[in-house]
Structure 1
């Protein structure tokens, strides 16, 4: 029977993690990469490592078991033989050659978590290409001046084509800082994925001359399946680019995006270790995203419109919280409101079916209740002309509100937080009138 092991990914020592991963793969094992909280005791073992199931009926390794948000919500695990990762790296190398970059000469900067496909693949690509690779600690990414100071000391700084993968949250934090902007401007390709790229962030990136390559991929596809060329982005392109050489795309009648390629995960793994098919009988994997394809003379361009599984039905209206979150963040920035993060969650409503509740985190309020109250009033004013189904019926301040290191929202986690909060308090009374006026 093929053996399966868990490898803890220590963000403070990714080099050691990489060595342990290579050793396990060299033994033909299936490896599950587990994240570790940087603030946790380095000797602690996550419960997932103890509860790891036996690999009964699995194909021969080596390979990786990678955590995914799942195509229809909820966490799942994808089984990827190493050949999938190799084919993914090969497809990315071909894309680079098409824009006149030799991947073997590249310097790859990697600030993403190793236990996610987004952070695993930059390292894997560099190893396969024979390129240089640099890990960037999460703490360093929050200090642009220190990041630039350390980066310029690398002997290959600006001597090789420099490649970077980011999520939009990281991009925004760096772009607003002069030295962070200088650091970004030194990159030859900046792949941006993990979440949609807000229009204002895209515009600011173009103004700064950043060579962004907005892309689309998933754990199920072993990372990128489309990427926009930097020159197309800089001239105003708004898509996630065209399919890589090994990828076919289609959009169903309901707007669902499907992907077919030779590096789809073999299966999903449940918590008992059982395998479940990922693709349909024609080899298509149906994602949880809505999309459209704009046809060109050569290949279609992919436009991702939002999550299918993130939609709610409120008063007969289909509402997509992620799009509203992006819209509210942009409006708050325009109104100079210090909104650090916002998450819109659905709650049951007897008359409407579901309504939205907002969790918000301020940046710069510093615990000042009067400032926070004024800011909250400003948010309410911003949404006052939205459709009733789109307007939150309650607002809750949440100082710890943050997406994951990969830029994803763990909506199930924050739903638990909201339920525990509401179990001990009713919705704010000043939202009662708003809720009944909306009806």
Structure 2
């Protein structure tokens, strides 16, 4: 298997990276690799926190760390002080790249773990507790191989607008870097303001989260632009039916995906032709992965060559299998359907409710902009169904929404409480911060 330096040398004189300062990629990567190689002659290679904000320097630093077999921790430069304190206490780094004028006192003692030349990718930030999934060059390239085999590609061209420290952005780089494809890096704000790279997008993949797709579809020019892509991968958070219907109406070659940081991005994807023909699911399983369904709980059990080895600093005792919180099923044609998450299940009056169903019904009323449904502790019902939402028309009451829901849902599935907000707390990938939502609801409900 080729290693980072091999790919770096192969791409030395190729115009594969399209971004500001892209001409410095090879130079930065080579210089940093030589520096790290000298440091790595010591007893153990240095632990590196990588929080570079500039994309080219981030990617060059990442390749240098991988080539020098240093453990590298990918980090969000915009984390707050509490989050950074968590990271410094956990990692106790030897080198910090990209974090200026911030200093933290790490906890005393040093982890005696077997982590050496591993790649740590952050996950769990939206829950308030950051952890790092332990990956390797091999797990990341296994994901690339599964992707190229599934889509029958030799080279993958990607337009990346997602954060590079996140698995969704990093894997776009990995696909282009290891297959000799082109990578265009463009901030979402530039795309949204119609500052578009001069490329033939019909040969490119782009990855979006649902909230980004929704915003782009509000602009007819950008809708037309999206419809020209080879594939628009959609992940990060569950999409709602109306969003998918609108994308299909505009003939956007959407590829809804299922995956996570622990699996090095998607392990299931619905191919665009299936999507345009009316299918709504997460598609077939990619060739590097296998999913089985627990007979009792319906939770997904994942096996994949791209699967993480653990959470830093602990390696999993039984690697190769990953039982996840998601519940779903595989239909007779092998398509994966995700129902919801076990941890989000709401039990009210003895009835099991999955928020995704309620949220979808509320969106179909066309009276809200965004919504999240949760359960609030209730002494009579166990949990009371609560909708936190952004109203489309602030002066119109929730009675209109409830009236429409009565013909769509059972009575026990209609929220008891409605909390209007100007916006919902979502992260860069479009995932709801449920801890924050729960706190908002608990603060609000005493006033009802």
Shorter chain as normaliser: what TM range? 0.7 to 0.9
Tell whether 2:131 aligns with 1:131.
no
- Cross-structure match for 2:327: 290
CA contact (8 A) 1:193 1:215 kept: yes
Pairing 1:231–2:273 present: yes
Aligned length: 385
Partner of 2:251: 209
1:397 is aligned to 2:420:
yes
Separation in structure 2 between the aligned mates of residue 75 and residue 352 of structure 1, nearest angstrom = 33
* 2:370 match: 341
**Corresponding residue for 2:20?**
none
Compared CA separation, residues 49 and 77, structure 1 to 2 (3 A)? closer
User: Alpha-carbon deviations, 1:368-387, whole Å to 9, x = none?
Assistant: xxx52414443343345643
Partner of 2:37: none
390 and 140 in structure 1: CA distance in 2 versus 1, 3 angstrom threshold: farther
Distance 1:194 1:87 in 2: 20
Cα distance between partner residues in 2 of 1:326 and 1:74 = 28
What is residue 303 of structure 2 aligned with on the other side? 260
Ranges in structure 2 where 5+ consecutive residues have no aligned partner: 1-43, 93-109
Matched, 1:23 2:64: yes
Instruction: Indicate how the Cα distance of structure 1 residues 138 and 126 shifts in structure 2: closer, same or farther if over 3 A, else same.
Output: same
Deviation at 1:67, TM superposition (A): 2.4
State the 1:318 CA deviation.
0.7
- Corresponding residue for residue 52 of structure 1: 90
Partner of 2:346: 312
Which among 95, 119, 140 is matched to residue 150 of structure 2? 95
Could you tell me how far 1:221 is from its partner in structure 2?
A: 0.8
Aligned to 2:441: 418
Q: Find 2:200's aligned residue among 127, 141, 157.
A: 157
Aligned CA distance change for structure 1 residues 207 and 384 (closer, same or farther; 3 Å) = closer
Distance 1:179 1:171 in 2: 13
Question: Aligned-pair distance for 1:328?
Answer: 0.9
User: Alignment partner of 1:51: what SS?
Assistant: helix
Displacement of 1:302: 0.9
Instruction: Check the 8 A contact 1:168/1:196 in 2, yes or no.
Output: yes
Match of 2:170 among 79, 99, 120: 120
How far did residue 141 of structure 1 move?
Answer: 4.1
Alpha-carbon distance in structure 2 between the residues aligned to 1:242 and 1:56: 40
Q: Residues 425 and 436 of structure 2 are in contact (CA less than 8 Å); yes or no, is this contact kept in structure 1?
A: no
Query: Structure 1 residues 29, 389: CA separation in 2 closer, same or farther (over 3 Å shift)?
Result: farther
Aligned equivalent of 2:73, options 25, 28, 32: 32
Distance in 2 separating the partners of 1:210 and 1:177: 14
The aligned runs of 1:313-332 (5 Å cut-off) are: 313-331=347-365
Q: Is the 8 A contact 2:87 2:130 kept in 1?
A: no
- Residue 227 of structure 2 is aligned to residue 182 of structure 1: no
| TM-score calculated relative to the size of structure 2 | 0.78
Distance 1:129 1:8 in 2: 25
Deviation at 1:133, TM superposition (A): 0.8
Q: Contact between 1:87 and 1:263, CA under 8 Å: does it hold in 2? A: yes
Counterpart in the other structure of 1:78:
133
Please show how residues 4-19 of structure 1 align to structure 2 within 5 Å.
4-10=47-53, 13-19=54-60
157 and 239 in structure 1: CA distance in 2 versus 1, 3 angstrom threshold: same
Distance 1:47 1:383, change over 3 A: farther
How far apart are 1:14 and its partner, in Å? 1.9
Report the Cα distance in structure 1 between the residues aligned to 2:128 and 2:300, rounded to whole angstroms. Answer: 15
Task: Give the superposed CA RMSD.
Answer: 2.8
Offset of residue 403 of structure 1: 1.8
Aligned residue runs from structure 1 range 347-426, under 5 A: 347-362=376-391, 372-384=394-406, 386-419=409-442, 421-422=443-444, 426=446
In structure 2, the CA distance between the partners of 1:94 and 1:110, relative to structure 1 (3 Å rule), is: same
Structure 1: which 5+ residue stretches go unaligned? 364-370, 429-439
Q: CA 1:141–1:343 in 2, change beyond 3 Å: closer, same or farther?
A: farther
Of 216, 219, 224, the residue aligned with 2:261 is 219
Please report the TM-score for the alignment, with normalisation by the length of structure 1.
0.80
* Alpha-carbon distance change, 93 to 207 in structure 1, aligned in 2, over 3 angstroms: same
